[in-house]
Amino acid sequence: MLIIFDLDGTLIDSSKDLVISVNAMRDHLGLAPLDPLLIHSYVGNGAPMLVKRSLGPAVTNEMAERGLAYFLKYYRTHALQHTRCYDGIPELLRDLWAEGHKMAILTNKPAKISTDIVAGLGISQYFFRIYGGDSLFAKKPDPEGIRLLMEESDEPPVNTLMVGDSAVDVRTARNAGVRCCGVTWGIQPESFELNPPDFLIQSPRELRLELEVG
């Protein structure tokens, strides 16, 4: 089976480092810090959108470009300061890999930063591919990433599962014609109210149970 994981809010808790980096960017531009919960609500559509939303509706293109450049530079240096795998994730990945499942990461975070974080947390050996928001022609919820991963792994839609913590992941799965598992421990589980996944899990170990049943 092909299991495609989102990164932030699904495999890793990066919320604190993202908040620190966004507010460092705002400080660099002479702006006051934002509430962490507000920043969390902006996560999921890639770094350019995170920066644009964090700078407000009146942001100019020039300010957005300066903000993005500073944010990426700062975040690359601090991405592993507080970021950790969620409890149970390393064990889940180890067990799924041992059972012969094919696994990949599809995130809207830049690919180089994503790859560095996954390697730094010691879980990169479980994934045959990591696609970031700058790897492909379009970001999630565009289905291109899932379709390419299915092609590379030689797995059909019926044997593919997207696992994520937000409506973006659900819409990506729907657009690609595959099932979606939602996780409740992530950054935006409230977004499932309007975009429900096929099933929800409360802890990583529940994924293996669902795979055995399904």
According to the 3-state scheme, what is the secondary structure of 186-200?
CCCHHHHHCCCCCEE
Active-site residue, 87 included:
no
Alpha helix (H) ranges present in 3-162?
Answer: 15-28, 36-41, 47-55, 61-78, 89-98, 111-120, 144-153
SS3 content of the chain, % helix, strand, coil (to 5): 50, 15, 35
Q: Which of 6, 17, 165, 169 is catalytic?
A: 6
Contact call for residues 52 and 59 (beta carbons, < 8 A): yes
CB atoms under 10 Å from CB of 138, counted, come to 10
Listed residue (11, 171, 187, 162) closest to 85, CA to CA: 11
**In this structure, what DSSP letter does residue 183 have?**
E
Instruction: From residue 46, give the alpha-carbon distance in Å to each of 1, 51, 99.
Output: 27, 9, 32
Q: List, by residue number, the catalytic residues.
A: 6
